[in-house]
Amino acid sequence: MTATIDFDAPASPSASVAADGSLRRIVRGVPWPLLAAVALFFVAGAIGLVFLVAPDLKPLVFKQSLMRAFSAPLSRGGFLGADQLGRPLEWRLLAGLGISLGAAAAVTLIASVLGLAMGLLGGFFGLTADRLVTVVIDLTWAYPTILLAVVIAGILGPGVWTVIWALGLTLWAALARIVRAQVLVLREQDFVLAAQALGYSRFYIATRHLIPNLMPIVILMATLFVALTIIAEAGLSFIGLGAQSPTPSLGKTLAEGFSFASSSIWPLVFGALTMISLVIVLNAFGDRVRDILDPKGRVPLPGRRLRDAARRAEAALPARAVDRDAVIAVDDVSVAIHGRRGATTAVSDLSLTLRPGQTLGIVGESGSGKSLSARAITGLLPEGLSLSGGRVFWDGVDIAGLPAEKLRDRRGRFVAMVFQDARASLDPLYTIGEQVSESLAAHFPGPRRSFRPKVLEMLARVGLSDPEIFYDRYPHQLSGGQLQRAALAGVLVLEPRVLIADEPTTGLDATTQKKIVALVKALQREMNMSVIWISHDLDLVGEIADEIVVAYAGQPVEIGTVEEVLKRPAHPYTLGLLESRPQATMAPKSPLRSVGGTVPDPGDWPPACRFAPRCRRALAICGTTPPPMELFDEGSGRRLRCYNPEPGAAEAGA
Amino acid sequence: MSRGDVLLSVEHLSKTYRGQGGRPAHKALDDVSLELRASETLGIVGESGSGKSTLARVLVRLTGADSGRADYCGVDLLRARGADALFLTRQIQIVFQDPNSSMNPRRTIRQALLEAARVAEHPPADIQGSLARMMEAVGLSREKLDAYPHQLSGGQRQRVAIARALAVSPRVVVADECVSALDVSVQSSILNLMLERQRELGLAYVFISHDLSVVHHMSDRMIVMRSGRIVEAGNPSEIMRNPQDPYTRELIASVPGSGFRAA
């Protein structure tokens, strides 16, 4: 649920589970009643298997006429009644559970080992092996299990082993496919390449590096295989290819119960109930296992304690009147992450104003809360996060007061967002033209086709020359720069008042970045739009912004004009960021200045100044009293959260 | 061998990736020639598709080439087998870009470093003690040895990746975009670390990045690549002052902040 939150900082050891063994994670993560139910079935199955072989117990399962045929449940001598031959149903079902689960275990073992081996062979041992494996997998897919079962039954004769081999020799292909795909990804991971560069053999890398990382998938598929086998065994037994009389597999019991249903319904009912409850429990277990082992679900919610001692620091300031002329005004906003152990503040003390046509840059390292700040401004916080204080005004209207429906309609036309990964924000199945039309269709009536002229015009405006051609192109046919242009077209076609650009050029080439920046500047002038540009690169923000907000650990620490902030940084953090970048004017290979340490996680913020532990100008007071955001420079309106600003900045007043 | 001797020489190297599924063939390296001398840094700057990463992979023999020559101290890099291959492994190591994938998430830092240290020609007698020294050399405490990669920050993981590369005592380290995924403040500390190690151990670097200012700062000599070809080569400051190729000029103009910095 926190997949969209950008916290790069390491999770604390106690909260992180990624490195634990998969099995330990499953045992810890699955609710105990479910775990108990699964255990119960398997223990019952194991006991059932004992009943099948122990000489003293065997008669309970196999001996005919222990009771009267078709005895009703709770009749004398039997708890669930008896079947058509007078064998007690409870022992038959217990043994059946043993056979079915035993067969499932065998199938899972065969399919897992074979699937893992074949997937690895295909993905990691060369092109020839891959072609061969792919052909075998495709053939296996194309071949119906039943047909294979008939063939195997011809060799082994019908029976439980026929079922085991028929399923084991088909189900592996499902795993092999996934394993192969995963290996294709893993083998390009740097740690695999590094091991190769160290000269280790493929076999070594496969066993030490690949298999441990494939285990979650194998376990995941195994839970599916068990449930699938139970059902398939019933099917094959029903048509006579599976267990044969008197072997009491669940499928066989069900088949016989069905045949004699007119004499007694109970064998069918109890057989079906056993099987249904078993499959439901196994599937529920599989679902939970999938949640636990899915890498996306693994990110623990960051933070544990709500520590907002510093939260009200700004209350010391006289309450600023909200600028009603501002396009966007943000007044003392804070954002909380709701985790398992309560809420943690991720953004606090955020106050800023955005005027018509103005560009505001928000700068900070990963974990500084800059993306979350932008999300709060749009009223679109990811799942698990909420506005825990303060107010956001759009054109002077508090958005908290707007009904959800109205907010949604206004949002698209008022504030638009583009992100770093333009490819992810476009649907691969629709053409660029269709997706831009979609934005219009969400807000204006009329058939999609009627939007075409407007869409073509927009595509041309974002610099996709030959808009007719780009209209019909799919995202995968576009380069990174073109994708970002298409994403811009998709949101700007609604002519929003504000564009929020969240690292839209990170990952693009420098030459492409320059073109996108120039494009946004041109469109901004044409459309008289305000822009909030988020980046970790102060230099880049300097190119486009009028005003810069430097954020650190969820808080603005310096807000001022580009001129002031970049030429005479006042906050030690701002200066640190500026000095970290190598400059053409520096002597090559000279040591760079650097801000030591890392941004603390939300929840681990220092109580007073959050930057103090990394600050080379920290005073005693920085560790005891949270610094307020104060006006630093009357003339330019620069605001600063620091007790001991950089001396160079003071020249500003002169 | 002293500073200035040629360690690595590459001549007319070409490599084409065959097009798959109707895509056209892609010429990743096109007649690339270069030299790396002992204890120097050769910077390679280029954008996506310039072939710089393919070149890095060829140098550590993760991929081959179609034609041309590459040799290291007289050993043919493209055809080395057996003892020669082991020699090259011990001489040339690589640090990759992505701190998230540079470590196996299921193995501890100790296991990762041990795996590298075992490859060294003279594995230290006290291998556990040497792991602790390796960590300290890259600015990490020895307690981190038993941590898993996800318990470290991106910068810390990149330090471990450097320690792993240095564990086999190589003479050449290929750094392929090794600071591109890091915040500027972390980036500068990693660059400082690399400069320190170089001074101390006399390493030669092939420093590859798309970031012109970073390459300029790290390099003794610099190469600009585009579409698999070298378009400009020479002294970094000279290139920045007086770029000859139009593409180099475009790259220089695209560095953000030039306006403010100059003022």
For residue A442 the two structure tokens come to 């969400």
The amino acid that residue A123 corresponds to is G
DSSP tally for chain A: helices H, then strands E: 23, 12
Residue whose tokens read 């990490």 = B140
**Under 8 Å between Cβ of B206 and B178:** no
In this complex, which of B61, B150, B254 lies closest to A19 when CB atoms are compared?
B150
Residues of chain A with C-beta less than 8 angstroms from the C-beta of B96: 190, 193-194
Q: For A427-554, where are the E strands, in sequence order?
A: 498-502, 530-535, 547-552
Q: Which of B47, B28, B214 is nearest to A507 (CA)?
A: B47
With a cut of 50, say whether residue A303 has pLDDT above it: no
Strands B41-46 and B221-226: parallel
Nearest CA in chain A to B222: A588
ipTM comes to 0.86
Q: For A430-504, where are the E strands, in sequence order?
A: 498-502
Residues of chain A with C-beta less than 8 angstroms from the C-beta of B156: 10
Which positions 199-258 of B are in contact with A (Cβ < 8 Å)? 210-214, 216-220, 236-237, 240, 250-251, 253-257
**For residue A308, what pLDDT is reported?**
32
DSSP tally for chain B: helices H, then strands E: 10, 10
**Cα B150 from Cα A95, distance rounded (Å):** 46
Q: Which of B109, B94, B167, B95 is nearest to B137 (CA)?
A: B167
**For residue A5, what pLDDT is reported?**
36
| A135: Cβ contacts below 8 Å, ≥ 6 apart | none
For range B75-83, the mean pLDDT: 92
**Cα A574 from Cα A568, distance rounded (Å):** 9
Strands A555-561 and A638-640: antiparallel
Size of interface A-B (CB pairs under 8 A): 191
Residue B50 near chain A (CB below 8 Å):
no
* b/e per residue A126-143 (b: at least 16 CB within 10 A): eeeebeebeebbeebeee
Contact B185 A584 (CB under 8 A): no
Substitution target in B50, B53, B98, B106 with the highest count of A β-carbons within 10 Å is B106
- What is the DSSP-derived secondary structure letter of residue A299? P
More confident residue, A362 or A57: A362
For residue A492 the two structure tokens come to 């700007």
Residues of chain B with C-beta less than 8 angstroms from the C-beta of A543: 256-257, 259
CATH of A36-60+92-298, one of 3.40.50.1370, 2.60.60.20, 1.10.3720.10, 3.90.280.10: 1.10.3720.10
Band of residue A309 on the pLDDT scale cut at 50, 70, 90 = very low
Q: What is the pLDDT of residues B129-177, one digit of tens each?
A: 899 999 988 989 888 999 988 888 888 899 999 999 999 999 999 999 9
In this complex, which of A13, A366, A588 lies closest to B217 when CB atoms are compared?
A588
With a cut of 60, say whether residue B263 has pLDDT above it: no
**For residue A10, what pLDDT is reported?**
35
From A41-45, A67-71, A265-269, B38-42, the region with the lowest mean pLDDT: A67-71
With a cut of 70, say whether residue A442 has pLDDT above it: yes
Residue B86 near chain A (CB below 8 Å):
yes
**For residue B21, what pLDDT is reported?**
63
Rounded (5°) CA angle A109-A110-A116: 85
**For residue A317, what pLDDT is reported?**
34
Q: Which of A194, A196, A170, A181 is nearest to A130 (CA)?
A: A181
**How many Å from the N-terminal Cα to the C-terminal Cα in chain B?**
45
For range B41-59, the mean pLDDT: 93
Residue whose tokens read 């590369």 = B165
- φ, ψ of residue A472 to 5 degrees: the values are -100, 5
Residues of chain B with C-beta less than 8 angstroms from the C-beta of A512: 47
In this complex, which of B106, B115, B257 lies closest to A539 when CB atoms are compared?
B257
More confident residue, A531 or A91: A531
Q: What is the pLDDT of residues A525-539, one digit of tens each?
A: 999 999 999 998 888
Distance from CA of B1 to the nearest CA of A (A): 23
Domains and CATH numbers, chain B: 6-262 (3.40.50.300)
Nearest CA in chain A to B209: A509
Q: What is the pLDDT of residues A201-251, one digit of tens each?
A: 999 999 989 998 898 889 888 988 998 899 988 888 888 888 888 888 888
Contact B236 A542 (CB under 8 A): no
Q: What is the pLDDT of residues B173-220, one digit of tens each?
A: 999 999 888 888 888 999 999 999 999 999 999 999 999 999 999 999
**Under 8 Å between Cβ of A307 and A603:** yes
Q: Which of B106, B235, B94 is nearest to B175 (CA)?
A: B94
The amino acid that residue A470 corresponds to is F
Q: What is the pLDDT of residues A429-441, one digit of tens each?
A: 899 999 999 888 8
Contact A194 B155 (CB under 8 A): no
Contact A509 B219 (CB under 8 A): no
| Domain boundaries defined on chain A | 36-60+92-298
Residues of chain B with C-beta less than 8 angstroms from the C-beta of A594: 185-186, 188-189, 192
Q: Is A98 helix (H, G, I), strand (E, B) or coil?
A: helix
Contact A199 B89 (CB under 8 A): yes
